[in-house]
């Protein structure tokens, strides 16, 4: 399973890339706003330079014509750019048009099985079901991932499934067990993935015994 980093923070992306855990990056208007930079195109280009993999930048127009125009501008920023389009009626038209021109599209804000089917039929390169936000409203977000995996297998659809709105290490493990193509993970969750209390406890024990040996107090 590929790991994308769900962040627009350059330092965080650099750190995860250096760890070998960054196959791409996803951003959205909220993540961009967190960085407080108004030169968003320049920021996306810097992210592409670090990631050296697919980088999703989201359109902000609400009508198909505006999304298509914005999507083409975003795609031209860098070869790694993927255009993120919200899964609305207008968005579907934009997904079909941009995909038809060979521009990779990430269909975002996906919350239902039918939306997964529609965006794949429209030619989206990626689909982003938001599992955390479904959990927030009392549904099981991972059920939607299971549905998407099954439907795409049933019909040999090539759209890659990006598990988005990931909030916890369990979302990542469950994504891998279900066979999702990608999980886009916030940097703080990446850190949690490696942590285990028994690793820390075991290491502390080893270090204590090692120090005893170095001090000559070992038997
Ligand atoms: O990838 C989508 C993500 O940025 C949304 O996450 O935590 O705001 O639901 P969240």
pLDDT digits over 107-140, tens only?
Answer: 999 999 999 999 999 999 999 999 999 999 999 9
Which structure tokens are listed for 3?
């790991």
The predicted pLDDT at position 80 comes to 98
Smallest CA separation from ligand 1 atom 7, residue: 165
Confirm or reject: Cβ of 160 under 6 Å from ligand 1: no
Confirm or reject: Cβ of 28 under 6 Å from ligand 1: yes
Q: How confident is the model at residue 215 (pLDDT cuts 50, 70, 90)?
A: confident
Please state, in angstroms and rounded to a whole number, the distance separating the CA atoms of residues 203 and 4.
Answer: 30
**CB count in 10 Å sphere of residue 78:** 17
pLDDT digits over 28-54, tens only?
Answer: 999 999 999 999 999 999 999 999 999
Smallest CA separation from ligand 1 atom 1, residue: 164
- The pLDDT mean for the chain works out to 97
Q: Is the pLDDT of residue 160 over 80?
A: yes
Please state, in angstroms and rounded to a whole number, the distance separating the CA atoms of residues 46 and 81.
Answer: 11
Q: How far is CA 118 from CA 115, 123, 153, 218, in A?
A: 5, 9, 15, 67
The predicted pLDDT at position 217 comes to 57
Task: State which of 3, 164, 168 you would mutate to test the pocket of ligand 1, scoring each by most atoms of that ligand within 8 A of its C-beta.
Answer: 164
Q: Count CA atoms within 13 Å of residue 89 on its CB side.
A: 0
**Residue 28 alpha carbon, nearest atom of ligand 1:** 4
Question: How many residues does the structure list for the chain?
Answer: 219
- Cα 40 to averaged position of ligand 1 atoms, centre (Å): 19
């Amino acid at each position: 399973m590929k790991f994308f980093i769900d962040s627009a923070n350059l330092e965080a992306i650099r750190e995860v890339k250096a760890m070998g855990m960054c196959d791409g990056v996803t951003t959205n208007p909220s993540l961009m706003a967190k960085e407080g930079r108004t030169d968003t195109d320049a920021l996306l280009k810097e992210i592409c330079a670090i990631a050296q993999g697919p980088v999703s930048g989201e359109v902000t127009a609400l009508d198909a014509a505006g999304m298509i125009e914005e999507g083409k501008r975003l795609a031209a920023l860098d070869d790694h750019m993927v255009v993120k389009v919200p899964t609305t009626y207008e968005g579907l038209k934009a997904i079909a048009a941009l995909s038809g021109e060979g521009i990779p599209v990430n269909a975002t804000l996906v919350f239902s099985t039918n939306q997964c089917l529609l965006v794949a039929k429209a030619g989206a390169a990626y689909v982003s079901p938001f599992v955390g936000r479904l959990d927030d409203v009392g549904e099981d977000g991972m059920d939607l991932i299971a549905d998407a995996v099954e439907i795409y297998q049933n019909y040999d659809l090539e759209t890659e499934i990006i598990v988005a709105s990931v909030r916890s290490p369990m979302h990542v493990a469950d994504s891998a067990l279900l066979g999702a193509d990608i999980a886009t993970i916030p940097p703080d969750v990446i850190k949690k993935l490696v942590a285990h209390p028994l690793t820390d406890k075991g290491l502390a024990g080893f270090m204590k015994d090692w120090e005893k040996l170095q001090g000559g107090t070992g038997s």
